Amino acid sequence: VQLQASGEGLAQAGGSVTISCAVSGGTFSRYAIGWFRQAPGKERVSIAAISRRSSRRDSSTFYVGSVEGRFTISRDDAQSTAYLRMNNLKPEDTAVYYCAADMTEHSGAVLGRIRYDYWGQGTEVTVSS
């Protein structure tokens, strides 16, 4: 399974950016997708995740507090792509953003704590003040 993260790299504070994660080599609908970021000099942290759909429920999402209400994670199973829409950006959102995939059936906040099996290479987002 290969993941390719890409998107707009530069934004001003208060602006918006959308980054995407294209997944190939597997059945996208079977994977939960997580977004992580690593700011300069800091550890990589989970910021958002979306579960896979099931016959019983639609996808559920998870956001860390610092991005909740500003960022929106979504998925398009037909396009095998997940997205992270980032609004009201702040300079502290500057980081390398990574997407990851895992065939977990977990949903909600658990997705922020699991160990993902597959990772993309990261895409850099810089927010200027």
The rounded average pLDDT for each run of 10 residues, N- to C-terminus, in the chain (129 residues) is 94 97 96 97 97 87 97 97 98 98 92 94 96
Burial of 128 (0-12, 13-18, 19+ CB in 10 A): exposed
The conformational region for residue 122 under phi > 0 = left, psi -120 to 50 = alpha, else beta, is left
What was the pLDDT predicted at 40? 93
The reported pLDDT for the residue numbered 8 is: 86
User: How far apart are the two ends of the chain, measured CA to CA in Å?
Assistant: 37
pLDDT at 55: 80
Predicted pLDDT of residue 119: 98
